[in-house]
């Protein structure tokens, strides 16, 4: 890419992206893989620290990405339409940022060139105390509500001295 050429995520809409470009937007934070609860009266979404049974917590990736929707009934497959209709996407999510006409953050692998910066910035689930839904019954999910997945970590806001 020439120095004066803007990256694809700044020039294309979500709908215009190729499959490869679309997939590269995922930063590998795995926050979307956390179980969420919705309050029926208010429709407010609450994140938990309980992850999908298919999440590899070290890699912050799905163990069976290709078959995830067949294996996990409520797995949401992101498309341009679902991104715009999914209120629970974390504020750091590249899909959400682009849908809101915002740029990617400094630590995103497409910007930094390093897939580890999402972990260095403290955005990913790596090194957090996370349980698997295999070990936590649905009736206990309320005991696992956390707020941090809905916030931008301090280390992610401003590029650190790297």
- Whole-angstrom Cα distance, residue 106 to residue 27? 11
Task: Indicate whether 1 belongs to any domain.
Answer: no
The per-residue pLDDT for 159 is 65
The per-residue pLDDT for 155 is 84
Element (H, E) at 96: helix 94-99
- Which residues are CB-contacts of 9 (< 8 A; sequence separation ≥ 6)? 17, 21, 25, 94, 98, 103, 104, 110
- Whole-angstrom Cα distance, residue 52 to residue 135? 11
50-77: pLDDT as tens digits: 999 999 999 999 999 999 999 999 999 9
The residue behind tokens 């339409």 is 81
Task: Indicate whether 8 belongs to any domain.
Answer: no
pTM of the predicted protein model: 0.89
Q: Is 36 helix (H, G, I), strand (E, B) or coil?
A: strand
Task: Indicate whether 162 belongs to any domain.
Answer: no
Task: Indicate whether 5 belongs to any domain.
Answer: no
Task: Indicate whether 160 belongs to any domain.
Answer: no
Q: Which domain holds residue 55?
A: 15-150
The per-residue pLDDT string of the chain (162 residues; one tens digit each, 9 = 90 and over) reads 555 689 999 999 999 999 999 999 999 999 999 999 999 999 999 999 999 999 999 999 999 999 999 999 999 999 999 999 998 999 999 999 999 999 999 999 999 999 999 999 999 999 999 999 999 999 999 999 999 999 999 889 876 444
Task: Indicate whether 157 belongs to any domain.
Answer: no
Task: Indicate whether 91 belongs to any domain.
Answer: yes
Rg of the chain (C-alpha set): 16
Task: Indicate whether 161 belongs to any domain.
Answer: no
Q: How many domains does the chain have?
A: 1
């Amino acid at each position: 890419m020439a120095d004066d050429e803007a990256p694809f995520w700044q020039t294309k809409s979500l709908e215009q992206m190729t499959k490869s470009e679309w997939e590269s937007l995922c930063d590998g934070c795995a926050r979307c893989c956390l179980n969420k609860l919705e309050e029926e009266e208010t429709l407010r979404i609450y994140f938990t620290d309980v992850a999908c049974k298919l999440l590899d917590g070290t890699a912050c990736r799905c163990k069976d990405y290709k078959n995830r929707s067949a294996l996990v009934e409520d797995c949401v497959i992101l498309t341009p339409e679902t991104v715009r209709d999914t209120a629970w996407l974390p504020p750091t999510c590249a899909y959400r940022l682009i849908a809101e006409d915002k740029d990617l953050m400094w630590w995103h692998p497409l910007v930094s060139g390093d897939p580890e910066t999402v972990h260095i910035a403290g955005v990913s689930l790596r090194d957090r105390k996370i349980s698997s839904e295999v070990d936590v019954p649905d009736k206990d999910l309320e005991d696992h509500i956390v707020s941090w997945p809905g916030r931008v970590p301090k280390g992610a806001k401003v590029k650190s001295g790297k």
